[in-house]
Amino acid sequence: MPDSFPLFPERASTMAGRVDALYFFLVTLSAFFVLLIAGLIIFFSIRYRRRRHGEVGTSVQPSLLLEAIWIAVPAGIAMVIFVWGAWVYFAMASVPAEALDVYVVGKQWMWKFQHPGGQREINELHVPVGRPVRLTMTSEDVIHDLYIPAFRIKADVIPGRYATAWFEATKVGTYHLFCAEYCGTQHSGMRGRVVVMEPQEYQAWLGGATGSGSMAGAGEKLFQDLGCNTCHLETGQGRGPVLQGLFGRPVALQNGQVVTADEAYLRESILNPAGKVVAGFMPIMPTFQGLVSEEQVLQLIEYIKSLQVQGPAAQPQAGVEGPRPDETTPAGEPKRK
Ligand code: CUA
């Protein structure tokens, strides 16, 4: 099967095989009965068709034995499904004691992960291979649903309470992470990835010992880790303004003001995004107050400074490009020009 068209998600957790086995059993069982019943319908309708006009069927008394069989066999099959399902369910519900903790907060429209050591991630989750991980999850707003197909886990994330799920990744790699509960306009964009690492790599990642590049390089990594790049797209199709070529330029705001995109403005926009909303955009950017340190804010600013425009005049003026088509300004308000 080509990788570009996978019909079935990869199996990358200890649960995946067990879930799949039950799933395939159910599919096979259903297929068997569909074929059996459809086949019998066709066979009987030919075999016992009316041959003469006005022909009436004879009354048949089925034997008690036959009745007993078609009660006992489906009941037995139902019990197999029940016991097997319960066995898998209990295995998924009982978290191994030695599990690592990761705290998950869902909000419109992103996943925030927090490790006990203080490491925070958005739309990305780093975990070690071969180690059970317990997710303690809640929502800041509406019901979301954390879904990692490769791990065969899926759990509702509900405001005001904690939901728990666990997995043990069996393969190093990067896997999809989705929100599987319709939660508003950008629900389909509420996704991310799970990065399964070798234990040593994971330790290095935890320690933040990942390279010692330039400040802009660190900022760029932060930019991606925080998921900034999911909204601030270079194409102008994102939920947030384009940042390429922004630094030092005038920015038109929602309130009619024009400000210059200097360090102070960028810092304010990261920590208090609702303060100065760019014209033509919704105030949906979450605050990164508490998520980034002052040092990291500086790294981010340094990174934004480094984003120079490549082509001549290819860049629309910052803040003037419109929102995405599905994210219109209220009541058909004309876009600012
Ligand atoms: Cu969150 Cu859909």
pLDDT in tens, 87-144: 999 999 898 988 887 878 888 889 988 776 657 788 999 999 999 998 888 887 899 9
Q: Check if the beta carbon of residue 139 is closer than 8 Å to that of residue 126.
A: no
Residue 326 pLDDT: 40
Task: Provide CB contacts within 8 A for 283, sequence distance 6+.
Answer: 254, 273, 274, 277
* Spacing, Cα 167 to ligand 1 middle (Å): 21
Rounded (to 5) percent helix, strand, coil in the chain: 35, 20, 45
* Spacing, Cα 106 to ligand 1 middle (Å): 8
Ligand 1 proximity of 179 Cβ (cutoff 6 Å) = yes
Question: Which range, of 174-183, 192-201, 202-211, averages the lowest pLDDT?
Answer: 202-211
pTM: 0.57
Angstrom distance (rounded) from CA 192 to CA 124? 5
- In the chain, count H helices and then E strands: 7, 12
Convert the pLDDT of each residue in 242-255 to its tens digit.
Answer: 888 888 889 999 88
Q: Check if the beta carbon of residue 137 is closer than 8 Å to that of residue 146.
A: yes
Nearest CA to ligand 1 atom 1: 144
Angstrom distance (rounded) from CA 215 to CA 201? 22
Ligand 1 proximity of 181 Cβ (cutoff 6 Å) = yes
| Separation in Å, CA 209 to CA 200, 202, 218 | 11, 10, 11
Tallying the residues shown for the chain, one arrives at 337
* Spacing, Cα 157 to ligand 1 middle (Å): 9
* Spacing, Cα 150 to ligand 1 middle (Å): 19
Convert the pLDDT of each residue in 53-101 to its tens digit.
Answer: 888 888 888 899 999 999 999 999 999 999 999 999 999 989 898 888 7
3 state DSSP class of 67: helix
* Spacing, Cα 103 to ligand 1 middle (Å): 17
Ligand 1 proximity of 121 Cβ (cutoff 6 Å) = no
Query: Residue 147 pairs with which residues in a beta bridge?
Result: 154, 178
Look at phi and psi of residue 173 and say left if phi exceeds 0, alpha if psi is from -120 to 50, else beta: left
Please give the structure tokens belonging to residue 279.
């014209």
Convert the pLDDT of each residue in 309-330 to its tens digit.
Answer: 754 444 444 444 444 434 333 3
Residue 18 has pLDDT above 70, yes or no: yes
Average pLDDT, the chain: 83
Which helix (H) or strand (E) covers residue 277, if one does?
Answer: none
Ligand 1 proximity of 183 Cβ (cutoff 6 Å) = yes
Task: Provide CB contacts within 8 A for 165, sequence distance 6+.
Answer: 92, 134, 135, 137, 146, 153, 155
* β 124-128/132-139 pair status: unpaired
Section 141-152 average pLDDT? 93
Residue type, 215: M
Most confident of 34-48, 202-216, 272-286: 34-48
Question: Which range, of 146-150, 165-169, 236-240, 329-333, averages the lowest pLDDT?
Answer: 329-333
Ligand 1 proximity of 279 Cβ (cutoff 6 Å) = no
Ligand 1 proximity of 106 Cβ (cutoff 6 Å) = yes
* Spacing, Cα 145 to ligand 1 middle (Å): 6
- CA angle (92 as vertex; 89, 97 as ends), nearest 5: 140
